[in-house]
Homo-oligomer: A and B are copies of this chain.
Amino acid sequence: MKSKIITVGDEILMGHIVNSNSAYISDKLYSVGLPVEQIVTVGDNEEAILTELRNSFGIYNVIILTGGLGPTHDDITKSVLVKFFDDELKFDEKVYENIISLFKIRGISMPETNKEQAMVPKNSKVIWNKNGTAPGIWMEKDDKILIALPGVPLEMKPMLDESVIPSLREKFSESETQVQKNKIILTTGISETSLFELLGNIKDITGDDCKIAFLPSFPGVKIRIDASDVNEILVNEKISEVEKKIRAKAEDFIYGVNDDKLEKIVGDLLVEKKLTLSVAESCSGGLFASLITDVPGSSKYFLGGVCSYSNESKIKLLKVKKKTIEKYGAVSKETALEMAVGVRNLFKSNVGMSVTGIAGPEGGTENKPVGLVWIGCSFENKTFTAKHLFGDNRLRTKLRSVMMALSLLRKELM
């Protein structure tokens, strides 16, 4: 059982957009026992798409093709499909009604061009698209399946989740002989190599049945455990056995598993301990508050933040002493501390955190280079600060300083 993804679009080959659809689709196919063996991107070009279909149809149980289903002249997927399957297009009344109703909801009249989108291959099953005008197409031949979906993620994802994946699960549920699963262990504060050495002999950890892989990432290295067996219970046992051995050696560096987000983990800790948080930001420029508020329900513990981009606002809003800034500078241990205390007082929160630094590209000096960041924290009757050097990339420094602040806060709350 295996699958393949074909992504169609000149804009991907030219580097104008990142192919994020493939990651989403891969993850879902893996979960129904159809691991992706290959992802190929080709242009909006009939011959290139046909060649790819000819080379791969029949080899994979399922091929998912995305892109090229739009209403304009550069969308050619449907015409390629009818050529490949020796089929023809027919007008589908129901699809047409769906398109009309979508325009009605938006309160705009339907451009004539969209009518063409109601044409679908005769021997296909239509996959409904409730978020856009391009229907998905499901075609089969000799028990092999080809599914064409729109390239717009907001349309593709619900179609995949609500129609394609349930249908595939049903279709292949009986033929499954092996269950494949994986689990990601998230670490921070240790390099890939040091982690590798800390774990020692990999075979002692995995045995003969499992695999582990190291994925350098941010805010730290991920360890992926892979296992397969005849049923889910046995797979889970194998994975938890490996996880236990990893934790025995590297527990100090592990902050979560799978899709866990540091901001969510910190949020859960705040809820658990019934604490509230406020943040004062200089170089992170609002990103700290933004990451925290990405978490649904964060209003329970996050009272708010001040982005004090000017010295005046640090003094006026956060009550940082003017002479502190004059003597030590806006990027200093002392200012970071007063910002943390100040924002905590301002919002009357249990915890106050601050980030001040030089995001660059300008503003660095020999003593205070671009990338220098001070993080401050005021909690209960104590305060602490941390100094970091995050390098010369502005956006990276913003992100790193926020992730580091979250990481410090997590440790403090534990």
Contact = CB atoms under 8 A, between A and B. Distances in A.
Interface in A169-227: 182, 184, 191-194, 196-197, 202, 211, 213-217, 222, 224, 226
Main secondary structure of the interface of A (DSSP, over half): mixed
Interface in A46-87: 48, 70-74
A304 B303 contact: no
A39 B12 CA distance: 9
A113 B193 contact: yes
A35 interface: yes
Contact of A71 (B41, B114, B193, B284): B193
B27 A16 contact: yes
Nearest to A132: B216
B299 A292 contact: no
Given A12-B39, A310-B304, A192 B70 contact: yes
A111 to B, nearest CB: 4
A16 B184 contact: yes
Contacts of A133: 193
A36 interface: yes
Interface of A: 10-20, 22-28, 30, 35-44, 48, 70-74, 108, 111-114, 133, 152, 154, 182, 184, 191-194, 196-197, 202, 211, 213-217, 222, 224, 226, 281, 284-294, 296-299, 302-310, 312-313, 317, 346-347, 359-362, 393-396, 398
